[in-house]
Structure 1
């Protein structure tokens, strides 16, 4: 059998996520990292030490102009996503980007439109696209185990923002590009959109403190199903909780992937025997998309729907 040629990948942005994806792609059998870029000399030097075989540059333009790339992974700050992604897609490259799609709605719309017009492979790194817990809830819905869906609640709490691993990314705290709505809630809004269909905002509110968002609440509708969101930065444990309420069974996903089954007697932890889902599995899904084999990843159209919901919270300050 003929061996598949490696997908030649460029990585833009070498912060927390870009560095992790560089590690994953560097050992992934379907990818060859051809070039990595970040404007920070310190970030480039860290990458060179960790991956001496990967050429690095501080010039993203050099990477985007590189003729030897099949695909680009974008992990730079959200305000730069559109410029990098549109240029890459118009050059015939596949694009895998971190969420959010963008922070400016016009730029998000452009990204989705260019993806459609060029036919370029496009994907966003929403972790719930292949989390085993999320897939299990999807199967339960399709099999009718939930009964009638009565509602969805998502609840988030953070003792500090940005979180410890994001302290070096100053933009994560600011109103312009950061906040837990874009960084965290977007994953769960995507999951709800995927399972129940597009959401319509009814009411959203966000309050700001010195370090950006410190409280948010929202009500959306998926058809006639209410979807409620609340989150805050407060003196309390870190919390990630998404709950689907049904007439027969309810399901809860805690801490990014722990699944609980609820019925009239209470909640029971569900032991899952399938892979949890990771940067590696989603990179494999991206390889499938590049090779035209289909993929579970979110595309830019789904990313735009999520962006519209998130930015509805921020519309009052525009």
Structure 2
């Protein structure tokens, strides 16, 4: 099968990370990139010699079979609409939009038109998540009884996100609930079912800065879920966990990539092939590209996060942030 041509609009943290870790790829080739920042040309030439920096987003859409939208959230839907109108497949970063009503309208029209579109929730291709699912299928958890999600950050944005701090640090588009908690809500939706918010509280600093603390109670497929997050309570960059307890046992995802089981002696033990996130990331992003190639070829069950799943996650996130 011929490689699909991927275009990228937005060569910040996520666009650069994808190019650096997922390529070369047997099913996807890079057709072109556009970003308005002048420094992009040098970074692109270093990471992907020969991949053109094109004149604008329209030129990228013209050159590609599938468009990866890695621009800030306000640009997601306009770029996706333009690409879909041109007959391209689309992979969007989350959140879908800065306006929930606009996001819902976009999802409805995309579904009605049979759009080839997905959202980049990398847990859809995570070997650690696949291990959790395998343990559940083998009966390691049994009937789920509770889920606890925790995300903590030494500072926000994290150090490696400094280049995007202009919007990541602000309440309008940024914050760790949108950027990080959404991944764990997607995982929860995939593992347990539809999510509903029961109650939530949010702590904001002064001005227009993003949240520094959240507490929430939810239900997912009828299972009670406790969610918490903080900025400034830990010394390290970040720590996170997703802990599912059931009548037969407990499993967890720790720090993005460690699938672990609670053993009879009370110790958490990782899967034998567990890897730190930095080592697992190339596998995950290559898997995302494989799924995007399948979607571009017409496989609507490719396994990528769907627009509907992303909208449901965003609705919960925004409901928490309004609390």
Structure 1 and Structure 2 fold alike (TM over 0.5)? yes
Contact 2:22–2:285 (CA<8 Å) still a contact in 1? no
2:20 is the alignment partner of 1:14 = no
TM norm structure 1? 0.91
Question: Which deviates more, 284-293 or 269-278?
Answer: 269-278
From the superposition, tell whether residues 285 and 133 of structure 1 become closer, same or farther in structure 2 (CA, over 3 Å). same
- The one of 210, 213, 216 equivalent to 1:212 is 210
2:55 & 2:227 partners in 1: Cα distance?
A: 39
1:20 & 1:147 partners in 2: Cα distance?
A: 37
Gaps of 5+ in 1: none
2:178 is the alignment partner of 1:178 = no
SS at match of 2:204: strand
2:142 & 2:287 partners in 1: Cα distance?
A: 31
Contact 2:125–2:285 (CA<8 Å) still a contact in 1? no
2:30 is the alignment partner of 1:27 = no
1:265 & 1:69 partners in 2: Cα distance?
A: 54
Q: Residues 70-116 of structure 1: CA distance to partner in whole angstroms, max 9, x if unpaired?
A: 11001111121111112211221101112222231122213322321
Q: Residues 115-162 of structure 1: CA distance to partner in whole angstroms, max 9, x if unpaired?
A: 212222211111211222211222233333312211110011111110
Gaps of 5+ in 2: none
Q: Residues 189-242 of structure 1: CA distance to partner in whole angstroms, max 9, x if unpaired?
A: 000000110100111221112542100111111233111110000141321111
1:62 & 1:289 partners in 2: Cα distance?
A: 22
* Structure possessing the higher relative contact order (Cα contacts under 8 Å, 6 or more residues apart): 2
Query: Which residues of 2 match residues 76-95 of structure 1 at below 5 A?
Result: 76-95=71-90
From the superposition, tell whether residues 111 and 22 of structure 1 become closer, same or farther in structure 2 (CA, over 3 Å). farther
2:316 is the alignment partner of 1:314 = no
- The one of 286, 290, 296 equivalent to 2:296 is 290
TM norm structure 2? 0.90
Query: Which residues of 2 match residues 59-138 of structure 1 at below 5 A?
Result: 59-64=56-61, 66=62, 68-138=63-133
1:129 & 1:157 partners in 2: Cα distance?
A: 22
2:150 & 2:79 partners in 1: Cα distance?
A: 33
Question: Which deviates more, 9-18 or 46-55?
Answer: 46-55
1:288 & 1:273 partners in 2: Cα distance?
A: 27
RMSD: 1.9
2:226 & 2:153 partners in 1: Cα distance?
A: 18
Q: Aligned pairs, how many?
A: 311
Contact 2:140–2:250 (CA<8 Å) still a contact in 1? no
From the superposition, tell whether residues 101 and 272 of structure 1 become closer, same or farther in structure 2 (CA, over 3 Å). farther
**Residue aligning to 1:239:** 239
Contact 1:200–1:221 (CA<8 Å) still a contact in 2? yes
2:5 & 2:221 partners in 1: Cα distance?
A: 42
Question: Which deviates more, 86-95 or 50-59?
Answer: 50-59
**Residue aligning to 1:253:** 253
1:25 & 1:44 partners in 2: Cα distance?
A: 19
CA drift of 1:28 comes to: 1.2
2:138 is the alignment partner of 1:143 = yes
SS at match of 2:163: coil
**Residue aligning to 1:40:** 37
